[in-house]
Amino acid sequence: MNKALLFVSLFTLAFGSFSGCSKTVRYSPEEIRDYPPAIQEQIKQGNVVMGMTTQQVRYAWGPPATVNVIAPSAEGRPREEWIYAMGMGVFMERRLLFVDGKLVDIFPEPKPAPAPAPAPAPEQQPKPEEPEGKK
């Protein structure tokens, strides 16, 4: 029994530490209250959107696994690349590019939510035949 418990504990610890972007709250209401309502809602839902600041992204997704300081842009603006491990760090990673502390790109781009399936067409019923005398 001790081996089974040890295995479950190690498995949980290993995969839990690689999960990234967990849904735990990383902010208090006071910390985000001065942001626009739309940004507050994105943070609460754990989403990041273009134009967010590095702090807003930290509130939404937590700290990145890696931060790379990139050479400044042609205009001399500071740039950073943040890397997040998604799906327990095995399936995918997201790279966020910040210029002047604002999110300007996400690699790969998030896929839009699938559109709901169209409602099935009602079965076409054959028209009842008219009695012979009414034709």
pLDDT in tens, 103-125: 999 998 665 556 666 666 666 55
Reported as half-sphere exposure (CB side, CA atoms, 13 A), residue 73 has a value of 12
User: How far apart are the C-alpha atoms of 49 and 132, rounded to whole Å?
Assistant: 67
As given in the structure block, the two tokens for residue 62 are: 């937590």
Is residue 15 included in any domain, yes or no? no
Is residue 1 included in any domain, yes or no? no
Please give the residue range of the domain that contains residue 55. 21-111
CATH of the domain at 97: 3.30.1450
User: How far apart are the C-alpha atoms of 4 and 67, rounded to whole Å?
Assistant: 37
Is residue 106 included in any domain, yes or no? yes
User: How far apart are the C-alpha atoms of 83 and 116, rounded to whole Å?
Assistant: 31
DSSP assignments along 11-29, one per residue: HHHHHHHT--S-SS--S-H
Predicted local distance difference test score (pLDDT) of residue 108: 84
20-67 confidence digits (pLDDT tens): 444 567 889 999 999 999 999 999 999 999 999 999 999 999 999 999
| Alpha-helix runs per DSSP H in 18-131 | 29-32, 37-45, 54-61
Is residue 124 included in any domain, yes or no? no
As given in the structure block, the two tokens for residue 94 are: 């997201």
Is residue 80 included in any domain, yes or no? yes
Is residue 100 included in any domain, yes or no? yes
What share of the chain has pLDDT > 90, as a percent?
Answer: 51
Is residue 3 included in any domain, yes or no? no
Collapsing DSSP to helix, strand or coil, 8 comes out as helix
Number of domains into which the chain is organized:
1
